[in-house]
Structure 1
Amino acid sequence: MTYDRQLVSNGNPMEAVVGFSRAVRVGRHVAVGGTAPVDAQGRTVGPGDLHAQARRCFEIAQEVLATAGAGLEDVVRTRLILTDIERWKEAIEARKAFCLDARPVDTIMAVTRFVNPEWLIEIEVDAIIADRDR
């Protein structure tokens, strides 16, 4: 069986330079890469505010999923990557607004820092598009 491969961009000029996509859809699977808390101009949203940053990451992921033909109901895994693991509950509060109904599996982990030191979190999302004809 052969599947088409759809690359989803959000316009980041580094995608072509570095060789990455915001998301990739292969068949019914959509993988959304590490999503940072940035606005349309690339500025950090909510410096110091983990909840606001997590919410922004999920908003971006939701937009990318839609572009790939998926929705929040298709999410099967989330990964919350934090610079301060002690603040995990703030991230989970934001996650609930986007994932409570789908109840995907979740991983929460910590890193030392991100490329932009203002970022407190990045989020990855995997989805499998449901066969809605069943």
Structure 2
Amino acid sequence: MTTNLSADRRNISSGGAYESVFGYSRAVRAGTDVHVSGTCAPAGHEQSDAYTQTRAALAIIEKALADAGAGLEQVVRTVVYVRDISDADAVARGHVESFDAVRPASTLVQVTSMLKPWHKVEIEAYAKLDPQ
């Protein structure tokens, strides 16, 4: 299969196990836009609460943004998925600790399941860089 990617597109990999299985990138930078894939807490967080899983997912997102030349301060939108809506306050606490002054547009949605049964939260992020 031949893929023609534009010159201003860069795929960022975190080395996660599912990137090659599903054929996706942790993040994609295309020009001044950075799109970070849905991100959950990694293995080792099986017993963690929703707040801790949120902070772990956001740390992975922050690393992906940095690898793309961006930071949390450039995030303009997040989409947050939770398995249990009663975790919304804990997830919100983790979110506001990362984005307090940034205050990106955000959506919170309850879903019935996630990839792993212990995942409580998954977060997508979209950042906009200043033109060079």
With the length of structure 2 as denominator, give the TM-score of the two structures.
0.90
Aligned to 1:59: 59
State the 4+ residue runs in structure 1 displaced beyond 6 angstroms: none
- Aligned pair count reads 127
Residue 84 of structure 1 pairs with residue 88 of structure 2 = no
Aligned ranges 1:1-134 → 2 under 5 Å: 4-38=8-42, 43-45=43-45, 47-131=47-131
The structural deviation recorded for 1:89 is 0.8
Amino acid at match of 1:14: Y
Aligned residue type for 1:52: T
Name structure 1 gaps, 5 residues minimum. Answer: none
CA distance in 1, matches of 2:26, 2:9: 13
Identity of aligned residues (%): 35
SS of the equivalent of 1:98 reads helix
After TM superposition, the score normalised by the length of structure 1 is 0.88
Return 5+ residue gaps in structure 2 as ranges.
1-5
C-alpha separation in 2, matches of 1:88 and 1:15: 28
**CA-CA distance at 1:46 after TM superposition:** 5.5
**CA displacement at 1:19 relative to structure 2:** 1.1
Q: What is the distance in 2 between the residues matched to 1:58 and 1:13? A: 18
- Shift of residue 4, structure 1, vs aligned partner: 1.0
| Matched letter for residue 37 of structure 2 | G
